[in-house]
């Protein structure tokens, strides 16, 4: 059994925001392997976040981000369960990161569920046409359309987008990390991006 040092626990805490006890348990479970411990905590965090996903989010904040030079900006409404969490630095940091993502990447929707059915149907039609024009065999066209539709989602849906500061996680993953850290359900309710002359 590998020795679990304070440094290892600190490193894991810095990466995950999980509690000391949880970090120590994960390191013991993974026999001191920080990467494996990270996976264990991610899985536990995802499970905890999923449990909180149905809880009402009636508090929160409207957060803005204006890019240097004042040519591009974003406004978002991000919600949580209590006013206490809404006032924390962590919550504000998350809001700022999300607003910056909206300004940089310009998603049209928060989630896939927001996209009108007719928009998805039209997109599927276009993608099917493209695949057939490229000479793809009829029997694999559906699979191709499905794959390209996921690209459409990651271009247009905030939660599906890769985080501009760390492309190993999506914005949905980032929010789940904060749900685990803050112990409350968090949802991005509305987004709006402004660009001069757009």
Q: How far is CA 16 from the centre of its chain?
A: 15
Strand 72-80's sheet: what is its strand order?
A: 59-66, 72-80, 187-195
pLDDT at position 57: 63
Q: Give per-residue pLDDT as tens, 138-194.
A: 778 888 888 888 899 999 999 999 999 999 999 999 999 999 888 888 999 999 999
CATH number of the domain where residue 138 is located: 1.10.286.20
pTM as predicted? 0.68
pLDDT at position 95: 95
Is 168 in the same domain as 103? yes
Mean pLDDT by runs of 10 across the 198 residues of the chain is: 78 71 82 82 65 67 90 94 91 96 94 90 87 80 85 93 94 92 91 88
Among the candidates 52, 68, 87, a domain finishes at 52
Is 106 in the same domain as 161? yes
In whole angstroms, give the CA distance from residue 6 to residue 129: 58
Is 63 in the same domain as 133? no
Q: Which domain holds residue 10?
A: 6-52
Residue 1 lies in a domain: no
Is 35 in the same domain as 72? no
pLDDT at position 98: 96
Is 48 in the same domain as 65? no
Q: Are 13 and 20 in contact (CB under 8 A)?
A: yes
Residue 177 lies in a domain: yes
In whole angstroms, give the CA distance from residue 191 to residue 102: 7
Q: Exposed/middle/buried for 36, CB within 10 Å: 0-12, 13-18, 19+?
A: middle
């Amino acid at each position: 059994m590998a020795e679990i040092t304070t440094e290892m626990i600190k490193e894991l805490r810095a990466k995950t925001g999980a509690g000391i006890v949880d970090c120590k348990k994960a390191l013991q479970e993974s026999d001191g392997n920080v990467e494996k411990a990270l996976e264990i905590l991610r899985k536990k965090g995802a499970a905890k976040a999923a449990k909180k996903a149905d809880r009402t989010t009636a508090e929160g904040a409207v957060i803005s981000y204006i890019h240097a030079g004042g040519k591009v900006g974003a406004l978002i409404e991000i919600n949580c369960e209590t006013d206490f969490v809404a006032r924390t630095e962590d919550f504000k940091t998350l809001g700022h990161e999300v607003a910056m993502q909206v300004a940089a990447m310009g998603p049209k929707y928060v989630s896939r569920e927001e996209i009108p059915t007719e928009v998805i149907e039209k997109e599927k039609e276009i993608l099917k046409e493209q695949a057939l024009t490229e000479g793809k065999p009829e029997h694999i066209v559906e699979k191709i359309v499905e794959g390209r539709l996921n690209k459409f989602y990651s271009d247009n849906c905030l939660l599906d987008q890769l985080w501009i500061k760390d492309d190993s996680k999506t914005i949905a993953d980032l929010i789940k990390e904060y749900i685990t850290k803050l112990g409350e359900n968090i949802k991005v309710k509305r987004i709006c991006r402004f660009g001069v002359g757009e």
